[in-house]
Amino acid sequence: MVKQGWQWLTPLIFLLFGLIAVSVRLVYGTGSTTFENSNLILTTIILFGSVIGAPLVEEIIYRGLLFALLLKWGAYLAPNPRWHSSYIAIGVTALIFALAHVGTSPFFMAVLLSGGIIYGWVRWKSDSLLPGIVGHIAWNGALAIGQILTS
């Protein structure tokens, strides 16, 4: 259940972050995927996998399983006893999320780290994977549109 008072902010955060992602993709370009002269079926499979499949799997793994584990045990891992386990869960899952995308530019890795922090914060505040999944799908969809427009 989404906690009251901030839920109106979530779509705005994802919209802003998606616009930043598209801008980064258009200005700097990342990755080497091209959609020029591609087979329509293969392109559809790639788009479905990267826009729908990857966000589902990544959110279940990072903000579902790993986040829950770190939320439970994070206080024991904290170097400072005043740190809340949610800080550990958000930070560690964001870092692992960014590192899982090694091969992109260092600038885009920083954007991914920021995205991981936002997804973690939303997961913590909403106590649900759904807002993060929707936001992640929007993010990847925006990047796919940017890639198609620059191909």
pLDDT score at 101: 85
User: What is the band of 113 on the pLDDT scale with cuts at 50, 70, 90?
Assistant: very high
User: What is the band of 46 on the pLDDT scale with cuts at 50, 70, 90?
Assistant: confident
Classified as helix, coil or strand, 116 is: helix
Write down the mean pLDDT value for the chain.
Answer: 78
- Give the side-chain half-sphere CA count within 13 A for 132: 30
pTM: 0.70
Question: For the purposes of burial, counting CB atoms within 10 Å of the CB of 72, is it exposed (0-12), middle (13-18) or buried (19 or more)?
Answer: exposed
Crossing angle for the helix pair 130-150 and 106-126, to the nearest 10 degrees: 150
Q: Among 120, 135, 144, 146, which Cα is nearest to 15's?
A: 135
Residues 6+ away with beta carbon under 8 Å from 141: 18, 51
User: What is the band of 2 on the pLDDT scale with cuts at 50, 70, 90?
Assistant: very low
Handedness of CA 20, 25, 26, 27 (dihedral sign): positive
Crossing angle for the helix pair 106-126 and 67-77, to the nearest 10 degrees: 90
Q: What number is the average pLDDT over the span 135-148?
A: 87
- CA–CA separation, 89 and 120 (whole Å): 8
Which tops the pLDDT comparison, 53 or 10? 53
- In sequence order, what are the beta bridge partners of 102? 104
- Length of the chain measured in residues: 151
pLDDT score at 17: 60
